[in-house]
Amino acid sequence: MSVNDDPQWRDLAQDWTAPRDDDDAEAPSLAEVRRRARLQTAVFGAELTVCAAAAAVLAWRAVHGAAWLPTLTGAAFTAFALLAAIWAWRTRDAGSADSVRDALRIAIAQTRTWLRWIVAGYAICAGALLHLAVMLGDAAPPAPPIAAAAAAFVLATLIALAAAQRRQRRRLSNLRALQADLYEAGEADR
Amino acid sequence: MGRDPDFERVVAEHRPMLMRIVASHEADPERRRDLLQDILLAIWRALPGYRGDGELRAFLARVAHNRCVSHVARAVAEPAAAELHDQLAQAADGIESADRQQRQERLLAAVRRLPLGLRQPVVLTLEGFGPKDIADILGLNANTVSIRLTRAKAALRSALTGGGLDERE
């Protein structure tokens, strides 16, 4: 049945598709769309640059005899940030999925992966805090401002991860509710 | 990133449909604008992969609906029940125009209040797609689409004649 076969749908479709007065006021310009695409590319480029710079500093420090434990922690942070950035860049778009059902499936899988990334982030932060505690108990502890800055950075990362985890859990729950609404009810219709 | 005449032409031609799909999923004008921008970005990226093996309109509707479900999942709440647009309170050019606009607003409000499982097939039907196309776009079978449309039509009829929606979420 298309709208042409049913007079009630046809009448509704006429109202639905009639031009609206506020159509043009709401439309974003194509220049905005291009700007946003460029911005996303620039953000990804910046993330890669920061990771490359951090890796270079770590390598330089390692070559010049820096302690291996902080270098290792820094390398873990850098690798985590790099992999997360690349993953987010490569998998962000479910728009071209074959159907809404597939788009939902992809979105759910992506959200689960984000949650796994967040758990990995917690593990790295816990490792970093442990490492910091060990260093503070060492015979030659780091200068207090450096230790405080490192602790603040790790704590800020933990807070950001917790917020992201809450957001992603809520999203996963919403996606599952939508999936149930759109498809599990649909199976019962058959 | 240079100008892309295909993208510009496609958007110019199909923007009204995309805006109606967006309007059926989001009541807030600012968020509606963001959602439309999301959809245009997704079309920008998906368009090079369009092989011309189906109707372009169906391809665009699919991309738009894919984005809309992600949007609804991100939103804390479902779109707010639509109020009659402020513009209605202002004088329209003529009684006929105001009457048509009022019918449009009432229809849009009724569509927004449908559960998503009914709203999506209804929007696609109002856009002129048949059950087979709708089934492809949503990933349902045609029989399920027909059953949902029958339920949705009853719910819409009830809402538009002042009875409220029976299918409220």
pLDDT of residue A20 exceeding 80: no
Q: What is the DSSP letter of B161?
A: T
Q: Which residues of B touch A23 (CB under 8 A)?
A: 15-16, 19
| Per-residue confidence (pLDDT) for residue A26, from 0 to 100 | 61
Per-residue pLDDT band for B96 (boundaries 50, 70, 90) equals low
Which residue in chain A has the smallest CA separation from B131? A1
Nearest to B63 by CA among B110, B102, B17: B17
CA distance to partner chain A, nearest, from residue B129 (Å): 6
The pair of three-digit structure tokens given for residue A60, joined into one six-digit string: 């330089």
Which of A71-80, B14-23, B101-110 shows the lowest per-residue confidence on average (mean pLDDT)? Answer: A71-80
Q: How confident is the model at residue B77 (pLDDT cuts 50, 70, 90)?
A: very low
* Between B143 and A135, the higher pLDDT residue: B143
Tell whether the model's pLDDT for residue A157 goes beyond 60.
yes
- Give the DSSP H/E element, type plus range, for residue B77: none
Residue A35 confidence (pLDDT) = 81
For every residue of A104-121, DSSP letters joined together read HHHHHHHHHHHHHHHHHH
Would the CB atoms of A101 and B65 count as touching at under 8 Å? no
Predicted pLDDT of residue B45: 84
pLDDT band at B127 (very low <50, low <70, confident <90, very high): very high
Question: Which pLDDT band holds residue B83 (cuts at 50, 70, 90)?
Answer: very low
For residue B60, pLDDT over 90 is answered with: yes
8 A C-beta contact, residue B137 and residue A102: no
The beta-carbon neighbor of B103 closest among A15, A27, A190 is A15
Hey, are the CB atoms on B136 and A99 less than 8 Å from each other?
A: yes
Instruction: Give the pLDDT confidence score for residue B158 in this predicted structure.
Output: 86
CB B108 within 8 Å of CB B24? yes
pTM of this prediction? Answer: 0.74
Residue B87 pLDDT level (bands cut at 50, 70, 90): very low
| DSSP sequence for B14-29 | HHHHHHHHHHHH--SH
Neighbours of A24 (CB within 10 A): 11
Name the residue among B37, B72, B126 with its Cβ closest to that of A178.
B72
Q: Residue B79 has what pLDDT?
A: 47
- Mean pLDDT along residues B74-101: 54
> In which band, very low, low, confident or very high, does the pLDDT at A32 lie, cut at 50, 70 and 90?
confident
Residue A190's pLDDT is what? 46
Candidate from A20, A21, A102 with C-beta closest to B139: A102
- For B:85-124, CB contacts with A below 8 A are 85, 87, 100-101, 103-104, 107, 115-117, 120
Write out the DSSP string of A91-102: H---TTSSSHHH
